[in-house]
Chain A
């Protein structure tokens, strides 16, 4: 395709790449590359995985990953399937979510080329500064809201986790108390009851 410049070809490739990718969210922090690859490998060929990490302490995953599949169709299939079913990854009962990838997710991808940014300082008095400062304030509010929301969410999640854990422990206790109890077996034999179903 000679008509296209190198740039356009590049962009086209990038667009293609984005089509083939999907973002997986709500994973456990302990998930690794291999686990995710195996999990999604059921549905298609995984070309590459990027686990997003916490910028403050790299090494800790935030439970999100961007996965590149071999074809766009495979990616679509996975996204759709994860909406229909609650997909567990790595044995954790956390349903993973999948979204189709967008360009914005690939901020630091080598294929993504942006025109260079021009930066300069701005003071309040300058003409045209007012709108900019307004926008900055709005951005601050949004950032605050976002943080607060995430905070609330975490609190709620922890509470739920606590509750579920307690519940689980209780049930487990009950179960184990019945299951391995020798006395019950003795009594059962005395009464000549049928074998209990395991």
Chain B
């Protein structure tokens, strides 16, 4: 398989630069220039693609080149100039200036991407394309062929304005190009672009015939007539050819890749049938191939001379008219697939290219040696899918990102998932859902399909097939919020202790680590005796009889013995040290096994508690080494009846996976997702019809504790919510009562009344359930319900914890780390940490107490807000729209309004979004920020977005808010966010101001909460959030100057002087007039602060305006001076 190597590197922040994407394969090097903007979202995906191992290729961006700034920025140039300029420059200048992927369309878009004028210029183009797509296609073909015929460049130049006539010209030129090759066939091929289906079939059949001629001489005779043939004949030919081609084909295609035998077989078969023509015959082929016209290839596979699957990346890629890469390796690659009329063809590939139109899926196209037309590739054949995946995924990714540059990461992933399904590398969505359901249902009970055991024999052979199916990567929307991915490895026994089969199992929460079938139904497949528990208890904790009575069996001799730790040295059985092992042993039994020569002393030690042991189940019987979970061969296969274990590779002969071994008995099975091996060793004769040894190995002690009768606790959550229902129900009961007889006996009516009440209760319980309540609740769109919260069971936790202690003891006594690893492995520690995180998140409200009152919202104090407003208002121009995406108590907007009107910018607009209505609804919309779509806010760079989003775990929520904000391309982004937020640098923004001192002290208060002293609660932050001010790159220069002038000292006015004029900054070309900057006094003690009017100013309307009426915060309990103090 071809491997390509490269890594993604982002460089350069110069505005309007293009990014180069280069693939490096074995010495060939091509670059794909891309628009920078279109790339950012997906750029993270690329790296992750590499990490996810999906892609064997990584992508390298070599360097960033700047296009002529005139091309992208200035309005002064007309679009026509651009249009005239660009194609010329592109044609004349070397490769790096060209765009990838969208051959014809990209040319148009390159001209003036940011200008609206170009939209107009594009309109007629778009219209044209809608009408004549086929002609467009031929046009691009034309452009590709131009290196051959440079004289035709001139008429092609004004590509942007394409008319039907040009298109016709295009097809004509196409024809003219092809004329030198085969004049005789031109007549047959004239309306190339508008080839009809029939002619295609004609071509195909023709091509088929010519293909077959060298291959199958016996059939040559009937296929000779290359000239006109009818469709029927073509159809006739098809099945014949299919027969010949497919018989060796099908078996090859179905077979697994990569096995050397198969490859050899293929090759031999190929040569035998003559499918791979020797070089000499190829030349012949080529001449005759020209006559055939294939438009698309389905179920293709690409291979080289040695019949090895090859990747397209080794071939030269065509862009418009340049060929990139591939030439140095000089590999000859062939493609084989089903042509249009389902006839198998094979060709040698000369080049490939990608075509991507807006609204249509990406298509890969190949050109064959000798012909100049492009053939579209449809689906890869199943054997080839894996190799094709790399190329297709990258190509699709680039195409998608081009079309939707602002797509979120999750959208890109989803799109790529779609590609994977398209490729057939994924289980279909229904199947995936079914798998998910299974996983969810299993919950505490590890689920195992019994069929797994029988399939173990076939599984080894189909390991290759497994490799082909790629594990699905979960949707990254959660982005490590409060979610932890589910541990897919089963903690605990996936097999029933009684019958050794999987399915619906109940795990014991005690130290024995065993699982059981609860009823005969659950264990029907294996005729399990099961525990016969009448009620499959859904209780949190269930202990098996052994753990309850604290009497366990010795795993060696099978006798029951007391195991209670409290008995100290009166204990009869002792537990193995290793985490999650859970097996007990008599001291004498285990001593004989472990230390046969010194057993008495060792047993004595164990009994007295001076020594502990790890049982023989954790070492291979043959070589004595421990398990290595990573290596399949070094996994331990454990016996289910006695403490014997072998490495997979050390398994003795008589233990086989199927019935065909020496013993004729299957003694080994593969279990679970991780494919652990489970065996019965020789000591246990297997009963045929049960396929397990005798099932008398488990002994439950006599029960001495009476099990109380547990009834289902009534769910009172339902009740509480249902009171209003009840109240209504009661009134309807009134009518009933009136009709009953007048005189009641006192107990009678009481009983009846009670019964009625109970009826009401049960009815309400049915109606009002957790689901029905949840349905009524509103959740913000970025909130995710935790799927399946699994807390680690007490028994398992205790086991791991004690193992930790034991491991440390061993190490202290001088054992090596490997020994310690056997007892408590790294995986076990990892499980502990994960459990800690999960628990921590779940218990957070209780642990952190007052922090989470009411909705736990933290609002920025007004003093901090005033500081922010002070800093920002010089950057705001009149007429801007200021958006606060999580306004909280809506203070920021009001302050901005005040500040801006007093400095004369009266035409600013405001929008505030939040999911809770604040007290002051100044320009407020009760909306989820993520539901605001792009066309609701102005797109002409008058947008300023801020301010204080919810933070989330590791700044995940604030990242989401910011990402959504960037969709609107605001001119300014003002943020108070934790420092872990992702930088906006790569999205076209420059940082003007970063301040970590602004929010250093108690900058936030908890809305609506009061503490014990009835004062408002405010918070320190463990990690101080930062204040950021970002602006679009094109404004960076101006704003940096502005910031320097206004000074970072702007707010530190120790003196409360009003009217102090600051230096007036240079003329702001964008604003078109002088911007006035006025000092705003910030007196931390005063409340409310006043905006001082400037002293010497020409009379402006702002003075005449009274302060805008907005709701003054009135006296309220929670609004004491507390949160207004800085």
Contacts and interface: CB of A to CB of B under 8 A. Distances in A.
Q: Do A and B bind each other?
A: yes
Interface of A: 26, 32-35, 37-46, 70, 74, 77, 81, 83-91, 93, 97, 134, 137-138, 141-142, 144-146, 148-149, 152-153, 156-157, 159-160, 163, 167-168, 170-172, 174-175, 177-179, 181, 183-184, 186-188, 190-191, 193, 196-198
B242 to A, nearest CB: 57
B684 interface: no
Interface stretch (B327-335, B612-620, B737-745): B737-745
A38 B1008 contact: yes
A156 B1009 contact: no
Contacts of A26: 720
A187 B807 contact: yes
A187 B1117 CA distance: 52
A34 B1010 contact: yes
A134 B1008 CA distance: 50
B956 to A, nearest CB: 13
A45 B1111 CA distance: 11
A73 to B, nearest CB: 9
Contacts of B801: 177-178, 181
Nearest to A93: B845
Interface residue tally on B, bucketed by range: 35 or more
Interface in B911-962: 916-919
Interface stretch (B124-132, B696-704, B848-856): B848-856
B730 A187 contact: no
Contact of A81 (B716, B917, B1007): B917
Interface stretch (B42-50, B62-70, B513-521, B753-761): B753-761
Nearest to A166: B540
A86 B916 contact: no
Contacts of B833: 178, 196-197
Given A168-B846, A174-B839, A181-B801, A149 B826 contact: no
Interface in B418-472: none
A174 B1116 CA distance: 43
Interface string B822-845: 001010011011011101101101
A45 B1112 CA distance: 11
A177 B797 contact: yes
A157 B820 CA distance: 48
Nearest to B1113: A45
B1010 A38 contact: yes
B298 to A, nearest CB: 48
A40 B750 contact: no
Between B758, B820, B821, B832, the greatest number of chain A beta carbons within 10 A of the residue's beta carbon is seen for B832
Contact of A184 (B754, B829, B918): B829
B829 A42 contact: no
Given A34-B1118, A87-B854, 18 more contacts: A38-B1010, A39-B1009, A41-B1117, A46-B1116, A83-B776, A89-B854, A91-B849, A91-B852, A91-B1009, A134-B738, A138-B738, A146-B730, A156-B713, A159-B714, A170-B794, A174-B791, A178-B836, A193-B830
Contact of A193 (B716, B829, B1008, B1014): B829
B1116 A41 contact: yes
Contacts of A163: 713
Contacts of B830: 193
Between A148, A167, A168, the greatest number of chain B beta carbons within 10 A of the residue's beta carbon is seen for A148
A153 to B, nearest CB: 6
Interface string B720-745: 11000010001001100110001010
A175 B843 contact: yes
B846 A156 contact: no
Contacts of A198: 840
26 contacts: A34-B1117, A34-B1118, A35-B1009, A38-B1117, A40-B1008, A42-B919, A46-B1116, A84-B777, A87-B855, A90-B853, A93-B845, A138-B737, A145-B733, A148-B753, A152-B757, A152-B761, A160-B716, A168-B846, A170-B540, A170-B794, A174-B839, A175-B839, A186-B808, A187-B820, A191-B821, A193-B826
Nearest to A80: B917
Contacts of A90: 853
B889 interface: yes
Nearest to A25: B723
Nearest to B839: A175
A16 B952 CA distance: 42
Contacts of B817: 190-191
Contacts of B854: 39, 42, 87-89
Given A42-B889, A144-B750, A178-B836, A187 B829 contact: yes
Nearest to B1009: A38
A26 to B, nearest CB: 6
B1114 interface: yes
Contact of B1008 (A41, A45, A149, A174): A41
Nearest to A154: B716
Contacts of A197: 833, 837
B855 A178 contact: no
Contact of B836 (A33, A141, A175): A175
Contacts of B760: 149
Nearest to B828: A187
Contacts of A89: 853-854
Contacts of A187: 804, 807-808, 820, 824, 829
A81 B424 CA distance: 47
B835 A174 contact: yes
A105 to B, nearest CB: 14
Interface of B: 540, 713-717, 719-721, 726, 730, 733-734, 737-738, 742, 744, 749-750, 753-754, 756-758, 760-761, 776-778, 791-792, 794, 797, 801, 804-805, 807-808, 811, 817, 820-821, 824, 826, 829-830, 832-833, 835-837, 839-840, 842-843, 845-846, 849-850, 852-855, 889, 916-919, 1007-1010, 1014, 1016, 1114, 1116-1119
A167 B540 contact: yes
A145 B737 CA distance: 12
A137 B817 CA distance: 82
| Top 10 closest pairs, chain A to chain B, by CB | A38-B1118, A156-B716, A37-B1117, A84-B778, A175-B839, A42-B1008, A34-B1014, A196-B833, A91-B853, A39-B1008
Contact of A137 (B744, B757, B791, B846): B744
A94 to B, nearest CB: 9
A132 to B, nearest CB: 13
Nearest to A42: B1008
B1008 A148 contact: no
Contacts of A148: 753-754, 757
Nearest to A146: B730
Contacts of A190: 811, 817, 820
Given A85-B777, A181-B801, A191-B826, A156 B714 contact: yes
B918 A157 contact: no
A177 B1007 CA distance: 34
A193 to B, nearest CB: 6
Nearest to B791: A171
A137 B734 CA distance: 12
A99 B1018 CA distance: 30
A179 B832 CA distance: 9
Contacts of B744: 137
Contacts of A86: 777
Between B734, B792, B801, B1118, the greatest number of chain A beta carbons within 10 A of the residue's beta carbon is seen for B1118
Between A74, A93, A153, the greatest number of chain B beta carbons within 10 A of the residue's beta carbon is seen for A153
Contacts of B840: 175, 179, 198
Contacts of B720: 26, 153, 157
B897 to A, nearest CB: 20
B1117 A33 contact: yes
A77 B919 CA distance: 10
A144 B730 CA distance: 12
Contacts of B742: 134, 137
Contacts of B797: 174, 177-178
A175 B832 CA distance: 10
B805 A41 contact: no
A106 B852 CA distance: 33
